[in-house]
Amino acid sequence: MMLVLLITATKGALLNIEHIQLELHPPLFSACSQETNYFPKSFPLNEWFPSLFKSYGDCSMVKWSFFNIPLTHWLLLFFILYILVSIVGLISLILDNKKR
């Protein structure tokens, strides 16, 4: 379980770092997908809550911040915490197995 947490947290952190790079160093022609047609017809969240799923088409635009820190930076902090927790968990599992 800890290994799965470590892998997913690392992948999330790497993707988040790419997004932070887009925000800090925007390319000349930045465009993101604006399609929201991936919702099933029986559960159209994009129609029920359009403000939550509105796409701006510009990945480099900071849309939300908390204490003047963008969401992507907060997410990176939490991914790093998840990575540290999973590493500590893996180490404790390994040490516990050695004691047996």
Per residue in 28-39, pLDDT tens? Answer: 665 565 555 666
pLDDT one-digit tens code per residue, 54-80: 666 666 666 777 888 888 888 899 999
Q: Which pLDDT score, from 0 to 100, does residue 18 have?
A: 86
3-class secondary structure per residue, the chain: CHHHHHHHHHHHHHHHHHHHHHHHCCCCCCCCCCCCCCCCCCCCHHHHCCCCCCCCCCCCCCCCEECCEEHHHHHHHHHHHHHHHHHHHHHHHHHHHHHC
pLDDT one-digit tens code per residue, 6-17: 899 999 899 888
